[in-house]
Structure 1
Amino acid sequence: MAGSGLGGKYALIGMAESDVGIVPDKSPRELCVQVTLDAVRDAGLKLSDVDGLITCNAFAEPIMYHAEAVAEYLGWEPRHCVTVNTGGGTTFMALNMAAAAIEAGMADTIVVAMADSLRSFMTREQAMVVQSSSGHPHYEQPYGPTVPAYYGLIARAHMDQYGTTEAQFAEAAVSCRAWASQHPKAQMRDVISVEDVLNSRAIADPLKVLDCSLVSDGGAAVVITRKDRTKDGPNKPITLLGYGEGHAYEHISQAKNLTTSAAVQSGQSAYAEAGLSPDDISLLQLYDCFTPALLIQIEDLGFCAKGEGGDWLASGISRPGGAKPLNTHGGMLSYCHPGNPGAMFGLTEAISQLRGDAGPRQLPGMSTALCHAQGGIMSSHATVILGAED
């Protein structure tokens, strides 16, 4: 799919995160309200200065008109108010929709806010219903697979086609945990080894529990506006340089290829719009719901050749001190994963690093970031490239 044509015109001027991990004292809606207000404040604005809101519904507290419910809670009547749900890819698709809405004159400044509470506000039984109901009702659900089983299928296909090993998948979890060990907010901070991953509890062959993302509470929000409106803000504006989408299927039984995803298309579109290549990217923030998903995205986004993702991870290139820092907050494997909002935290981490205000965790030379997310079972992909001006 071609890029949006909006690259270079829009910038992120505010952001916020809630507490993450286990947050039992706030509902998903309360978390969404909190990060909305905090992001507006971070942008140096008042709520009355903002005229758009885009949210994503929460599994733990589904509301028919979610964005309107958040605005209602705030006593706010934004001109543009919409709820988006494209699964894990919602973060970046909503960001592009916000830019498009501003381009169309529907709003001038928009908050994109997402939150959920899978850890504290869903029972195990409710979570299993969600996990087991994602498949095709005729061709998948009758056989009883859950989401981890689908990713186990993808992992096994990559192993069979390219000789990838379980230890190479484990390298993804080890890399993310190494970064999380440096982040005081990360849900899981204890450093792990490849052996720890391989010896952890089996979930869905060949995946172990440490190959799987966390179950978390949390929310995050960003503020987007036209770049020409960012001159007087308190923060360095982070420019949307390029964007792309790719959509291959909804159900994995209809996938034409289990080892190559529509990240190929979304990445190519984003690179073309930004006028950049993988070599130009300083920071990677990818969707690590399961270790094989992360490995395949690395390949499909052009950071290594197809089939070489395992060697790329095992080289240490993505770990602290490596040439291609990846998921520097710890990703969904170690920082947090509250469901559809999971990619928001990769976005806020990218903004922090590009602003240069990540504190003791700040990395040198951060000028560009590629953020990628996918919804479904490697089904629907979105890539955004961000840049910071000197």
Structure 2
Amino acid sequence: MNAIHAAIVSAVEVPYTRHPDDTATTEQLLTTAIARAVSQAGMTLADVDGLGVSSFTLKPDHAVDLALRSGLSLRWLMEDTNGGASGVNMLQHAVRAIEAGDADTIVQVAGDRMTASDFQSVVDDYNVITRDYVTPLGMGGPNAMFAMLTQRHMRQHSLDETAYGAVAVAQRRWATINPGAVYQSEMTMDDYLMSPIIASPLRRFDCVPPVTGSDAIVITRQENVRAGQSSVRVSAIGGSVNWDRHEGDGLRTGLAGIAPALWNRAGLNPSDVDVVSVYDDYPVMALIQLADMGFAPTGNVRDIADRLLSDHWPVNTSGGQLSAGQAGSAAGMHGLVEAVTQLLGDAGNRQVPDARTAVVSGYGMVTYRYGACANLAILERV
């Protein structure tokens, strides 16, 4: 029997907005993304026999309810609740399901209607730990926790605010040519440094803007790819759940433990990658993940910040969440959709020339202090 290989054949984003229509629902966002991704793939809903869903605000409905409302008849179904790690996590499951023959074509979708009140509800009731121990302290969300982490990171690596500003400023450059970003105006380092302090040392542009929107991709058997149709394969993928992170200082993610083996499996090095999508709920986390993935071979994190500003390095080419926005659970899909879009050659004015390889990281599920999940996918254009 020939080996079954999975291919990603489409990636779509339902436009993000800060001010959703009063009649818009999470269900509509997700079903719209599903329909658009399937259409872009040159398929119909009847071709889909697998569905992966991630959403904070779909409740009380679940993945099975969304399948019904989307008009899908399925052999494979999953629901992921792991926040910023959900996109790569669902992709790993979907690829394995197709390789095992459990499904032929899977749509992976994530998104939320995320108004200010929706965001506050998610923050306050994120999980039992947050609800019972963190929210009663009056923390009001993750800003304070990541402010303390940023302070520690600054001391550890002898950095100043401009290292974190480099992430925000560099990503804003990409956002100015992304019509889907909610922040598209140019931003200088002076603009960043003059923005208000939210939780020292975090400034306004260190914090992602909550938005409403959704993202989806279609993964199918390689044999289903039409002649002449571009596709993307997953060369290596893996994840790590690290409860022991809470015993440490939070300055490493699980990526540090899994990245070397994944690079080896893909037969690539960080220097071979054309496009990088790193989970960027805060600049400090972008810097930490880039270092953990091997983009700071000398161990000098400042080198990453300097490269972001000087090289027009293709990192978070959508503008990332810091400029494009964080659409709830779609945050875990945003970087994946951008990477696939780049590899398919569909990124318009922000297209990276001859992009053949990409790496995508996920990070999320803050418990007491730090994210507990981290994962990584290395992608190649077929």
* Fold similarity call, TM over 0.5: yes
Q: Which residue of 2 aligns with 1:41?
A: 39
Gaps of at least 5 residues in structure 2 are none
Taking structure 1 as reference, are residues 259 and 353 closer, same or farther at Cα in structure 2, changes over 3 Å only? same
Contact 2:6 2:99 (C-alpha < 8 Å) held by counterparts: no
- Distance across 2 between alignment mates of 1:163 and 1:174: 20
Whether 1:69 and 2:65 are equivalent positions in the alignment is yes
Whether 1:385 and 2:378 are equivalent positions in the alignment is yes
Q: Which residue of 1 aligns with 2:189?
A: 194
- Superposed CA offset, 1:310-367 (max 9, x none): 3321x2x335x82631001100000121122113222222122112222222221211
- Superposed CA offset, 1:81-103 (max 9, x none): 22111121000000011111222
1:135, distance to aligned residue in structure 2 (A) = 3.3
Task: Report the more deviating stretch, 285-294 or 355-364.
Answer: 355-364
Instruction: Please tell me the residue identity of whatever aligns with 1:71.
Output: A
Q: Which residue of 2 aligns with 1:57?
A: 55
- Superposed CA offset, 1:178-226 (max 9, x none): 1101111210011112222222222222111111111111101101022
- Distance across 2 between alignment mates of 1:291 and 1:241: 27
For residues 149-164 of structure 1, what are the structure 2 equivalents within 5 Å?
149-164=144-159
Contact 2:5 2:221 (C-alpha < 8 Å) held by counterparts: yes
Taking structure 1 as reference, are residues 133 and 292 closer, same or farther at Cα in structure 2, changes over 3 Å only? farther
Percent identity, please: 28
- Distance across 1 between alignment mates of 2:287 and 2:251: 10
Q: Which residue of 2 aligns with 1:4?
A: none
Whether 1:230 and 2:225 are equivalent positions in the alignment is yes
Whether 1:260 and 2:252 are equivalent positions in the alignment is yes
1:124, distance to aligned residue in structure 2 (A) = 6.4
Runs (4+) of structure 1 exceeding 3 A deviation are: 122-125, 130-138, 140-144
Secondary structure of the residue aligned to 1:18 is strand
Aligned length: 373
Contact 2:239 2:374 (C-alpha < 8 Å) held by counterparts: yes
1:267, distance to aligned residue in structure 2 (A) = 2.1
1:270, distance to aligned residue in structure 2 (A) = 2.4
Taking structure 1 as reference, are residues 202 and 56 closer, same or farther at Cα in structure 2, changes over 3 Å only? same
1:127, distance to aligned residue in structure 2 (A) = 5.2
Secondary structure of the residue aligned to 2:334 is helix
Contact 1:295 1:310 (C-alpha < 8 Å) held by counterparts: no
For residues 348-367 of structure 1, what are the structure 2 equivalents within 5 Å?
348-367=337-356
1:299, distance to aligned residue in structure 2 (A) = 0.7
Contact 1:245 1:265 (C-alpha < 8 Å) held by counterparts: no
For residues 1-390 of structure 1, what are the structure 2 equivalents within 5 Å?
9-22=5-18, 23-24=20-21, 25-58=23-56, 60-64=57-61, 66-119=62-115, 122-123=117-118, 125-126=120-121, 129-130=124-125, 135=130, 137-138=132-133, 140-141=134-135, 143-145=137-139, 146-232=141-227, 235-249=229-243, 254-305=246-297, 308-313=300-305, 315=306, 317-318=307-308, 322=311, 324-376=313-365, 377-389=370-382
Taking structure 1 as reference, are residues 221 and 298 closer, same or farther at Cα in structure 2, changes over 3 Å only? same
Q: CA RMSD in A?
A: 2.3
Contact 1:243 1:270 (C-alpha < 8 Å) held by counterparts: yes
Gaps of at least 5 residues in structure 1 are 1-6
Q: Which has the higher helix share?
A: 2
1:68, distance to aligned residue in structure 2 (A) = 0.9
Secondary structure of the residue aligned to 1:183 is coil
Contact 1:14 1:235 (C-alpha < 8 Å) held by counterparts: no
Secondary structure of the residue aligned to 1:77 is coil
- Distance across 2 between alignment mates of 1:294 and 1:44: 35
Instruction: Please tell me the residue identity of whatever aligns with 2:345.
Output: G
Taking structure 1 as reference, are residues 284 and 243 closer, same or farther at Cα in structure 2, changes over 3 Å only? same
- Distance across 2 between alignment mates of 1:196 and 1:127: 30
Contact 2:238 2:258 (C-alpha < 8 Å) held by counterparts: yes
- Distance across 1 between alignment mates of 2:201 and 2:32: 39
- Distance across 2 between alignment mates of 1:49 and 1:275: 33
Secondary structure of the residue aligned to 2:15 is coil
Secondary structure of the residue aligned to 1:318 is helix
Task: Report the more deviating stretch, 176-185 or 190-199.
Answer: 190-199
TM value normalised by structure 2: 0.91
- Distance across 2 between alignment mates of 1:86 and 1:126: 17
Taking structure 1 as reference, are residues 128 and 241 closer, same or farther at Cα in structure 2, changes over 3 Å only? closer
TM value normalised by structure 1: 0.89
